[in-house]
Amino acid sequence: MTSPALAPLNRALLSVSDKTGLVELATALAARGVELLSTGGSAKTLRDAGLDVKDVAEITGFPEMMDGRVKTLHPMVHGGLLALRNNETHVDAMTAHGIGAIDLLVVNLYPFEAALARGADYDEMIENIDIGGPAMIRAAAKNHSFVTTIVDVEDYSALLAELDANDGQTSYAFRQRHAQIAYARTGAYDAAVSTWMAGSIGEETPRRRAFAGTLAQTLRYGENPHQQAAFYKDGSSRAGVATATQHQGKELSYNNINDTDAAFELVSEFAPEDGPAVAIIKHANPCGVARGDTLLEAYKRAFDCDRTSAFGGIIALNQTLDATTASEICNIFTEVVIAPDATEEARAIFAAKKNLRLLTTGALADPRAPQLSYRQVAGGLLVQDKDTGHITLDDLKVVTKRAPSEAELADMLFAWTVAKHVKSNAIVYVKDRATVGVGAGQMSRVDSSTIAALKAARMAEECGLPQSLAQGSVVASDAFFPFADGLLAAAEAGATAIIQPGGSMRDDDVIKAADDAGLAMVLTGMRHFRH
């Protein structure tokens, strides 16, 4: 079948849930001599605007029924959308049954995603599943050789520009592009419905999973300049980089978005009512995390964990950014700062740093909220629950002769929280609610311990301190010590207490080594691998 380069537009069907721009579009179409068909609320809106509109019921011979569930599911509609204009048999069938061609379909769907976002109950969700809309969209998009399909309000102006450029016709390339947009829309819609239903009936591993996103922005490149990339939003309301307002600076890059997400997810673990907290991230790993009596103090303490790595990093704060802290942050080059809010004074200070991006989210993310996480592998996807694991003091099991002090316990829980966000193998030294050494992503746990200790010693020297920052610290390990060597490396660096999951066949050997070194150790019974 040969598709025409240009297809005329004589008759349009407009049936939309979102009425934004509908009257303007229909008015422009009518001015071009296009016959308008419509349904229900869309038809009423157009008539109220003084436009001549024919109800779909007039051409089907059936009124809308069953609370609007049935109105466009009819051969007079689908025949008009699907008929091949250059197929003699199709044309004869249209003539025989009085089916008029529909050249343009403008449909947007029942607001299922919006109902989901506001937490609608089961019955309301079911009623927000559109049937006729997706059916028409799929029919029109299939017949894009002749029919133009528009599913997004943002494309109304592009349609009118296309008609202006082609004397009231649409080009084949335009129809192809919008057919693809149409199928992606119904695909995303069905993904939202199927994912919601799986959750609502407790189906943890449904036979098929569908994931969808809406383009937020194209990116200059991905992790490296030879990789193309884009950022898509999934429509969820979780506070973070996807929902944030950017107040200044150039567009975020692929790596910026990835690292900012890591930073904000980490800082969201620290409730603002318990005091200020700051996380500094580089390459999705924490290079400094701290609490303080003020936001400024928390930032300085986080920065002092690894001043070298903090350069060009991402800074996340759990409270409103103030002017004093903003001024201090401006002393080094920083890619992104993200916080629930920022004062006008802070924003004004950042305004002088044109390359610094400031994002505000309005809230912290809920670290306990269930969420799905997925990762591509060759030939498929690995899907799992997001790691929302959380422990309290009551969950800790003391396994050494020496029990930890209250101060050590507080630092242990802090270190454990940070370790959850460090790439495995993870080792985190903490003293007085601040990281003083972080070892991330090493193939050997003992190497992570050694690297963290070296960082602590190096920063002590840079800060002019007489001994390593790790002296008198606690250490967290994201998984068990398979041998005592990693534990002993931590002890040698100056750690006095250890928090780790336990569960190794050699736990007894590790506990004995801790006792021999005079260390306190607690087990969590939970690990936080982050590969």
Q: Which residues are catalytic?
A: 142, 283
Report which of 493, 443, 447 is spatially closest to residue 468, judged by C-alpha positions. 493
Q: Could you give the CA distance from residue 210 to residue 251 in angstroms, rounded to a whole number? A: 29
Return the DSSP state at 420: T
> Is omega for the bond preceding 255 within 30 degrees of 0, making it cis?
no
Q: Could you give the CA distance from residue 418 to residue 430 in angstroms, rounded to a whole number? A: 9
Q: Roughly how many angstroms between the first and final C-alpha of the chain, as a whole number?
A: 51
Contact 486, 445 (CB under 8 A): yes
Report which of 185, 158, 154, 188 is spatially closest to residue 174, judged by C-alpha positions. 158
Report which of 330, 327, 332 is spatially closest to residue 312, judged by C-alpha positions. 332
Q: Could you give the CA distance from residue 301 to residue 288 in angstroms, rounded to a whole number? A: 8
| 3-state SS assignment for residue 334 | strand
**E strands, 100-177, where?**
104-108, 148-150, 169-171
Widest pairwise Cα distance in the chain:
96
Phi, psi of 290 (to 5 degrees): -155, 155
What is the identity of the amino acid at 109?
Answer: L
Q: Could you give the CA distance from residue 106 to residue 270 in angstroms, rounded to a whole number? A: 47
